[in-house]
A and B are shown apart, each in its own frame.
Chain A
Amino acid sequence: EPEVTQTPSHQVTQMGQEVILRCVPISNHLYFYWYRQILGQKVEFLVSFYNNEISEKSEIFDDQFSVERPDGSNFTLKIRSTKLEDSAMYFCASQFGTGPPNSPLHFGNGTRLTVT
């Protein structure tokens, strides 16, 4: 079964550094998402992306965050200047369509980002 793949599985970075988290969504999917999960907390929506542009973003997704689909296969999340509170598990997800009925999201295994 096709999978969403994320790299790296674990990223350690120093505060203030830029990080890029990478995702390869399922090939025929049209909608792409980033979510994050701070340890022990809820999974939180960051951003959705469709037709090469952001369709919706949360309050968390401030100017330090950006997303890109540079080559039609990869989907990246960039954090320009990381803060300690950015430490979390970041999940990429893709979705075939938004319905109705809405098709489910397919999640990758996540990238654990640790900011020191």
Chain B
Amino acid sequence: SQQGEEDPQALSIQEGENATMNCSYKTSINNLQWYRQNSGRGLVHLILIRSNEREKHSGRLRVTLDTSKKSSSLLITASRAADTASYFCATDEIQGAQKLVFGQGTRLTINP
């Protein structure tokens, strides 16, 4: 089964606007994480939200988790050109807890 499917696949907005990316998953999870990947680089951990949490903030990032709908959203407020990257959600399943399952990612472009 597919796990961690993000939408949209690509998002292009103007600098200063907010960007919202969504992620859906299928199985029960321990936690859900969001990672950023700049082109040709490794994945950088942004934020982790546990299955018993509903919302978490970190700087300009806001993550929500709805376990009843098996979905999460990542909001980046006041976007900057440097936020241009691909963003992935990754779930940590209850079984096989050391294995992250990544989605396809959302390619975010911030236009100056």
Chain A residues close to B by CB (< 8 Å): 4, 31, 33, 35, 41-45, 48, 50, 55-56, 58, 91, 93, 95, 98-102, 104-110
Contacts and interface: CB of A to CB of B under 8 A. Distances in A.
B111 interface: no
Contacts of A104: 33, 45, 48
A48 B99 contact: yes
Nearest to B31: A102
B100 A45 contact: yes
Contact of A109 (B30, B41, B90): B41
9 contacts: A42-B103, A43-B43, A45-B99, A56-B99, A58-B99, A102-B48, A104-B45, A107-B42, A107-B44
Given A43-B88, A107-B43, A101 B103 contact: no
Given A56-B96, A106-B45, A45 B31 contact: no
Contacts of A50: 98
